[in-house]
Structure 1
Amino acid sequence: MRTNKQFADFVAKLSEKDDTFEISKRAFLCLAGTYRFGEVRIYYCVERPKYQEERVEHEVKFHLEIGAIDEKMTYVMERTTGEDGLMRFTVVGLKGARQWTDDEKADLEMMLTVYMWHIARYRLINLVEMSATTDYMTKLPNTNGFLDYAEQLDKTNTLVSFNSFYFNLKGFGLVNLKYGKPNADEILKKYTTKVKKFLLEDEMVARLGGDNFVALVHKERTREFLSFIEQVIVHIDINEHKQRVEIPAYTGVFEIGESLQDLGDIISQCSIALNTAKNITKKPYMFVTEEMNKKAIQDKEIRSHFKEALQNGEFKVYYQPKVETDEYRIVGAEALVRWVRDGEVISPGKFIPLIEADGSVCELDLYMLAQVCNDIRIWLSEGVEPVRTSVNMSRKHLANPDFPDQIIGMIDEFGIDHKYIEIELTETASDEEQGLLNTFMTKMREQGIKTAIDDFGTGVSSFAILRSFPVDVLKVDKSFIDSEFVGDNDAIVISNIVKMANELNLEVITEGVERWKQVIFLRQIGCKLIQGYLFDKPMPYADFTERLKMKKYDKKNIKDY
């Protein structure tokens, strides 16, 4: 029978900080003589049907070298784990030893149970340590793991022989929607396996989170890696059917040089180039430049001031009239945002893409709607007849199920008729977005709020919108009439857009009108509404109030812009 001291020694040995195999062996030796066993075997298996390459199967034998063993004298304990797995412990007795009594078997079970908790504790410690440098799902290094490796290269003066690549998987959110998250995770793991196979032994790739990755690749293999990463193809079995999945990527490249001062720049510099590729040039890859760095500093400053500017009312509504082509009456307006800071007007082109990227644009959109509603309420109270005003909304709102109610609630809060507001969105690309857009437009129509599609004719979904969506207004992109003379192809396209819109009883308005020749052409093809610098640039509230009182333009006073 065991003594408390023997068991205490067993537990104490398991607590030692040493090689786990030797710790276990020494611990079992504390009890082996008393309980007459010469070997302990541990079998561990985890089964995950959905992720078969994650199946773990492992067996360890602790041969205690205190005598020959008898395979016929065994005690087995099995336990399931929280990971759909099994642990089987087998204690093998010494040759010629007497069989264990029931009390001794109970002691052996206690010994194995304590040891199982030791294994769990050890695994937990390892997981915690690993999680500091490893991405759990892909088993790639994470940001810390990447920087640790870069530091090792830096200490051996070999880091300068590498370039760093920050790449973002293009449209991977749609992969999640199409195949479901479990399959998308499997696709991501297959993707990372392919990338790892492409790399040389001393090159590396890390997952920064989501669908963002960073790699260190030898400089002479830069073009080869960019060509590879531009589009990686993986295959996955879904419902017994092999699916081919193309995964393109945007990539930013930083050429690591001797002047590198901070290892963090290896990531931050190529992320600047990635942002340029993804959000500005739309090219598969970009190398970071000094101009990009300057812009990144400016962008950071703009982002840091956005919340404060919103609270301080620095965003102003500027109105651009919409004019009908018969008598040049002002029949509508578009509300456009201008950021006025310290007396300087910041162009929307400088800040809209930034806040669109981080989602802050949704706050600004609703702020603009509130300002427009308030202006309309003031005009009505002063006896000035307002016109229907379109307010631009980001497509990011569509994912918010409360978005329609937010718009309706805000208009009603200001006590104005729904007929005075028009909600303007750009064309959508994905099937899911189109479904959300259709639902949104239907709710708006039920409430008597007009909806418009901006930049119509430039996206892939133009004719699907005409056929299926309850849209009220089409805004034809200015690119169709931008040149000095409208070309034959553009004329055919815009003529047919206007014709279809009129036959479907939709309003159609062409923006970017700057010359009378364009007005004459648009009138000839049946476009009754126009907007552009020919009549007015966007103007502040006070100036637009005067335009509303004027009601229409005198042709004699209008000159080509």
Structure 2
Amino acid sequence: MDNNIFLSIINSLSGVAFTSRFIVKNRSPIIYSLNFFDNFKDKAIGGFSSERLVENNLFVENVHPDDRMKFFENFLSLGIGENSQCKLRFKTNDGNYIWLKINMIILSRDERFVEIGGVIEIISKEKNLEAIFYTIKEINRLIIKTDRENKLFQSLCDLLVDKLNYVGAFLGDIDSNKLFRLKFFAKNTPEILVEDFKKVTISVDERIPEDRGTVGNAYRTGKVFLVSDTLESESMKPWVTYYKKHGIRSACSIPLYKSGKVEFVLVIYSRTPDLFSEEYMEILDEIKSDISFALEKIDKEKNIKLLSEAIKESPEWFLIADETGTILHVNKAVERISGYSVDEVVGNKLSMFIPDFYPEDFCKELFDRISRGERCECELIRQTKNKNIFYLDTIFIPVFFDNKVYRFVELSRDITKEKLQQERISELTRLYITLSDINQLIIRTDSIRDLYQTVNEILVKDAGFSIVFFVIIDEENKLKIHSFYYQEDGLDNQYDDFLKFIEESYKEELSILIEKGFISAISIQNKEIIYYNDLTISLKTEEIKEKFKCYGFLSSSASIPIFKNNKVIGSIFCCSAKKDFFTPDILRLLNEIGTDISFALGKIEMERFNAMTSTALNSGSDFVMITDKNFKIVYVNDNTQKIFGYTKDELIGKHHSIISSRSQGLGFARRFYRTIRNGQRFADLFIYKSKSGERVYSYTTITPFLIRGEIRFYIAVGKDITQAKSLEDSLKRLKDYDPLTSLLNRNKFIESANEFISIAKYEKKLASVCIINPIGFSSINQAYGFYAGDLILCEIADRIKKTLREYDLIGKLESDMFVVLLKDIATLEDVLNIISKLNLALEKPYEISKRNEILVFFNYGVSFFPNDGENAQTLLERANIGLASIKGSKDRKIGFYKKDFEQRARMKLDLKSRLERAIINKEFILYYQPIFSIKDKSIVGAEALLRWKNNGQVILPMEFIPILEEMGRISDVERFVVDNVCNKLMDWEKREKNIVPISINLSERSFKDENFRKYVIYTIKKYEVRRRMFGIELVERTFVEDFERCLIMLKKFDREGISISLDDFGTGFSSFNYLYRLKLDSLKIDKSFLNNIEKDIRAKSIVESIIFLNKRLNLKTIAEGVETLDQLKILEELGCEYVQGFLLAKPMPEEKFEELIKS
């Protein structure tokens, strides 16, 4: 053959042509020579040159040990000219194996040498494809057997590495940061390969380079993505270090779908370059499709399993039947609801659940609709194994195969409870309508006959009874049907016959009816509701039982006793055609109806009685008035309107005081209210006032009306005695009054004064008797005559009445003297003020004629209750003694029974007058007493103390502060103190003095006055006083009344930066109950506790307790009145922080205090 032709044939071969001689030694050939043809250049085997393959028997040594003997045995068994083929694995230059196919022929052989020739082809791709096909088969087997996603993924990775010799198979998903998250890898993957893989970044975020690899492309496109050479590919550069380190030359990523989208990515690495080429794509696509299918299959199977389990355990009815209605499958709910077991149900027909009373047409029509493929929804009544009824809300769903119904599913919800509840609600609604209608009837009816008849009708129409009738007991103690009502259901003849039978039976004695079992008689005898849900049970004779069975409306019956004035007067008989009609709710209704009807009977009788009573009340001459417990008028009779002139509408709803004349005094009113509010009857002469303003005299009795022990109304019955009283008053006036002045005479004055004194003793009130004496009045009679004198006496009486209070008592004594009883005085000196005011009025000129006026002068004699006497006669006598003591005196107008009263009163009046001038003239000054730190004796503050500088004398506050409080002028003076202190604080600060906080004593009146608080705040801001530099000191009694309001005021002062100290602690209303709630800065221990602190262990213990308490409450402790070194030492030992007292510094004028703080 032409050599060129031969070379052309050789070069056209897909493999490498070779010849080789082997030395055969112990059946272990050694290559003696190996020659390759020219085509080797383009088809190098495993990266080795032809020369390298010959060296050291390399070709034979690199054949896989498992394949080497097969290769030798193959050509050693052949004869010359025989050919053979073998496939073997060959280790390449980079340590990986490739598949080779060798077609060979024996060219020659002898005992020592064998010479062969042939062609070597690299068939790795074919082998890999073969392995992949085998692996796909394994994968499909895995898909069929595996029902868990994790197991599928792990087995897949293991198959790819173990069966296809890939260096790595990694499977993962994409996290929220768009990074590949490794979840599975082959178990035989080298550990370092896995650890390094975890460290690299693989992303599907198109904005970064790590997205351009196989994973990113596969995830985004949803297609398999291959890279034949990882070291040469531009897109794989981010991971080239990793690939070089582990010899990875080919890469492939397969997207795996789940629920229609890429959920996972499978990454495969091989050390063989060009392993993944386009011809692999179809196979890899198949892997993608198979695994994606498997994921969907696992998901569906899991859902089916969950659904199956859910259906099995569902509380709702689930059933599958075939097209004939034979039951194939049921869940537990069917067993539970129906009472049948699964074995009893499966294989049976659906009709096993249908009750006997169900219409056949309905069942047939329903089954026909389902068989036609219609979806049916309906409510069905079914029966249990025990024949009990239950209700289902059902859906029938047909299932088709080959366009025919071959199964259907019944889904049902047990609505038995709902149905029963609906029936119960309907029944209760009917019952409440019945009760409401009867209550409305009770409200509007005034006829017993109408009541009975209408109740019968309501019970039949609303409550659903067949027949109802009232039974009453007559005078002969026999039963009688009073009224009846029955249903309009075509059974009129039966009802009439039944009523005739009952009327005939009721002619017998009550005891005989009870023996025979008549329910009405038993109910009346036992005074309770009697009911039977099967009426024949109650009847004792067969004859009556048979009679009653003829009536179709007598299945259940009841009898309710009716009471009037706590006595049984009859009953209501009611019956129903339904068995078991009387449920607990029906019985409760009947009980309430019985109670309501008994109430209605009493109400009708009461209204009749009230009508008769009202007629009787309006026929008499007395007035009748009824008020509620708050004295609002709720009833008046006709005579009340006539006597007082008001219409009924003008009086009803008004307070009873509308007819009060308010002329009987406070004592009478108190006695009246005290008596009737204690539940006692009150009777007395009342002076009323008519609409026209005229007085109406009535002897009235007022009686409290109690309900369950509580006063609800007051009933007043009065006799108008105005005309008789007018006559009596005329006689009484002659007896009790001075005919000239119409004032009380001596006897009546004493009597009236004693009435007041008896009350004043009980209420601990003060009073004064004052005799008014016109001086030298006899000379007026002599000069101007008795007529002029009488006119002046009348004018004096009139001026006294106008000047004094309305409730003070005024009398005319013999000749020309007058007397007054001054009631309810606050202090003894108040009498001087009243007399002074009275004297001003009395000593004004008196007109004798149009041309003549005269002056009359007066003096007064005074005594006090209870100091000078405890009855009017004694007080009058001692006032007379007081008057006698000043007769002939030119400079004294008022004489007291006891002189020290006069002196004290005059001094007090004088002091008040001087204090008024002191306020106007600004005679008040401030002294300052420092407060010292007990540790270093430094001045930490001061208390501003009020002094009164009068006529060069400095007066201490205890002598005038109580008077200022009594006068109501204390706040005026304290405003001066606030202004002065704030001004001084500003002045010291401007002059850079060593300024310390200053506190002032504040009265209860000023502290509780909101306007005073605003003034303090205004003044502080006006003088720009810093926070906590101005303080107030309050005594304990400030908080006794209206504690909550005090707390609010304290908080307001505190918010403005004013420090607050509690003064004289322990001497007043000391209570831990309020102390912890007070917003305080410091607490001052009163001087009285320090007086005996050296000797009295109890006093020391109290001080120690106060100091301890202050520390717990975070309050500063200031001890007042420290006068000895021993006191100071003890206080320091007890932990007291601050002291104040004469030992360290007395109160001092402003100038001295300035010098002290300066130093």
TM-score normalised by length of structure 2: 0.27
Deviation at 1:410, TM superposition (A): 1.4
- The answer to whether residue 630 in structure 2 is matched with residue 50 in structure 1 is yes
Paired letter, 1:208: D
CA spacing shift, 1:494–1:149, aligned 2, 3 Å = farther
- The answer to whether residue 701 in structure 2 is matched with residue 121 in structure 1 is no
- Equivalent in the alignment of 2:650: 80
Provide the identity percentage. Answer: 26
- Equivalent in the alignment of 1:93: none
Paired letter, 2:879: L
For the residues of structure 1 that align with 2:690 and 2:1042, how far apart are their CA atoms? 51
The answer (yes or no) to whether the contact 1:438–1:470 under 8 Å persists in 2 is yes
CA spacing shift, 1:260–1:57, aligned 2, 3 Å = farther
Matches within 5 A, 1:437-516: 437-483=1046-1092, 485-516=1094-1125
- Equivalent in the alignment of 2:976: 367
- The answer to whether residue 1050 in structure 2 is matched with residue 436 in structure 1 is no
Matches within 5 A, 1:159-198: none
CA spacing shift, 1:122–1:44, aligned 2, 3 Å = farther
- Equivalent in the alignment of 1:330: 939
CA spacing shift, 1:302–1:431, aligned 2, 3 Å = closer
Once the two structures are superposed, what CA deviation does each residue of 1:403-441 show, in whole Å capped at 9, x if it has no partner? 432221111112221321111100137664322222122
The answer (yes or no) to whether the contact 1:80–1:87 under 8 Å persists in 2 is no
Unaligned runs of 5+ in 1: 1-38, 63-75, 89-116, 125-147, 171-204, 213-250, 265-287, 551-561
1:406 to 1015, 1018, 1031: 1015
Deviation at 1:307, TM superposition (A): 3.0
For the residues of structure 2 that align with 1:209 and 1:60, how far apart are their CA atoms? 40
Paired letter, 1:361: I
CA spacing shift, 1:380–1:42, aligned 2, 3 Å = same
For the residues of structure 2 that align with 1:295 and 1:320, how far apart are their CA atoms? 32
Deviation at 1:151, TM superposition (A): 5.2
More moved, 523-532 vs 464-473: 464-473
- The answer to whether residue 844 in structure 2 is matched with residue 260 in structure 1 is no
- The answer to whether residue 949 in structure 2 is matched with residue 340 in structure 1 is yes
Deviation at 1:310, TM superposition (A): 1.4
For the residues of structure 2 that align with 1:154 and 1:121, how far apart are their CA atoms? 27
More moved, 432-441 vs 333-342: 432-441
The answer (yes or no) to whether the contact 2:934–2:1139 under 8 Å persists in 1 is yes
For the residues of structure 1 that align with 2:1014 and 2:658, how far apart are their CA atoms? 54
TM-score normalised by length of structure 1: 0.54
CA spacing shift, 1:505–1:45, aligned 2, 3 Å = same
- Equivalent in the alignment of 1:244: none
For the residues of structure 2 that align with 1:519 and 1:509, how far apart are their CA atoms? 12
For the residues of structure 1 that align with 2:637 and 2:965, how far apart are their CA atoms? 48
For the residues of structure 1 that align with 2:965 and 2:1095, how far apart are their CA atoms? 32
Deviation at 1:122, TM superposition (A): 2.2
The answer (yes or no) to whether the contact 1:167–1:252 under 8 Å persists in 2 is no
Task: Name the larger-Rg structure.
Answer: 2
- Equivalent in the alignment of 1:389: 998
2:824 to 191, 197, 208: 208
For the residues of structure 1 that align with 2:955 and 2:637, how far apart are their CA atoms? 61
**How many residue pairs are counted as aligned between the two chains?**
354
Paired letter, 2:867: V
Deviation at 1:483, TM superposition (A): 3.3
For the residues of structure 1 that align with 2:927 and 2:1056, how far apart are their CA atoms? 26
Q: Secondary structure at the match of 1:489?
A: helix
Once the two structures are superposed, what CA deviation does each residue of 1:70-118 show, in whole Å capped at 9, x if it has no partner? xxxxxx9756259546999xxxxxxxxxxxxxxxxxxxxxxxxxxxx98
2:1143 to 534, 541, 553: 534
Deviation at 1:168, TM superposition (A): 6.5
More moved, 391-400 vs 78-87: 78-87
CA spacing shift, 1:465–1:86, aligned 2, 3 Å = closer
Which fold has the larger relative contact order, with Cα–Cα distance below 8 Å and residues 6 or more apart in sequence? 1
CA spacing shift, 1:482–1:330, aligned 2, 3 Å = same
CA spacing shift, 1:429–1:375, aligned 2, 3 Å = closer
Deviation at 1:43, TM superposition (A): 4.8
More moved, 535-544 vs 395-404: 395-404
Q: Secondary structure at the match of 1:377?
A: helix
- Equivalent in the alignment of 1:543: 1152
For the residues of structure 2 that align with 1:56 and 1:305, how far apart are their CA atoms? 61
CA spacing shift, 1:486–1:404, aligned 2, 3 Å = farther
Once the two structures are superposed, what CA deviation does each residue of 1:454-496 show, in whole Å capped at 9, x if it has no partner? 1112233342343211111101111101137341111001001
For the residues of structure 1 that align with 2:657 and 2:1137, how far apart are their CA atoms? 75
The answer (yes or no) to whether the contact 2:931–2:942 under 8 Å persists in 1 is yes
Q: Secondary structure at the match of 1:328?
A: coil
Matches within 5 A, 1:346-365: 346-365=955-974
Paired letter, 1:353: P
Deviation at 1:348, TM superposition (A): 1.3
The answer (yes or no) to whether the contact 2:1004–2:1038 under 8 Å persists in 1 is no
The answer (yes or no) to whether the contact 1:45–1:58 under 8 Å persists in 2 is no
Paired letter, 1:260: A
For the residues of structure 2 that align with 1:166 and 1:381, how far apart are their CA atoms? 62
The answer (yes or no) to whether the contact 1:338–1:347 under 8 Å persists in 2 is yes
The answer (yes or no) to whether the contact 2:927–2:1147 under 8 Å persists in 1 is yes
Deviation at 1:385, TM superposition (A): 2.2
Paired letter, 1:498: I
CA spacing shift, 1:263–1:486, aligned 2, 3 Å = same
CA spacing shift, 1:292–1:534, aligned 2, 3 Å = farther
Paired letter, 1:332: G
For the residues of structure 1 that align with 2:937 and 2:745, how far apart are their CA atoms? 66
2:1131 to 497, 500, 522: 522
The answer (yes or no) to whether the contact 1:441–1:470 under 8 Å persists in 2 is yes
Paired letter, 1:121: G
Deviation at 1:346, TM superposition (A): 2.3
Deviation at 1:262, TM superposition (A): 9.6
The answer (yes or no) to whether the contact 1:45–1:86 under 8 Å persists in 2 is no
- Equivalent in the alignment of 1:319: 928
Q: Secondary structure at the match of 1:254?
A: coil
Once the two structures are superposed, what CA deviation does each residue of 1:230-263 show, in whole Å capped at 9, x if it has no partner? xxxxxxxxxxxxxxxxxxxxx9533337452499
- Equivalent in the alignment of 1:307: 916
For the residues of structure 2 that align with 1:50 and 1:514, how far apart are their CA atoms? 62
CA spacing shift, 1:462–1:119, aligned 2, 3 Å = closer
Deviation at 1:167, TM superposition (A): 8.1
CA spacing shift, 1:350–1:165, aligned 2, 3 Å = farther
Paired letter, 2:1089: F
For the residues of structure 1 that align with 2:927 and 2:1108, how far apart are their CA atoms? 31
CA spacing shift, 1:165–1:210, aligned 2, 3 Å = closer
Paired letter, 2:694: Y
The answer (yes or no) to whether the contact 2:631–2:656 under 8 Å persists in 1 is no
- Equivalent in the alignment of 2:235: none
Paired letter, 2:1146: K
Unaligned runs of 5+ in 2: 1-618, 660-688, 697-742, 766-820, 829-864, 870-874, 884-896
The answer (yes or no) to whether the contact 1:44–1:56 under 8 Å persists in 2 is yes
The answer (yes or no) to whether the contact 1:320–1:335 under 8 Å persists in 2 is yes
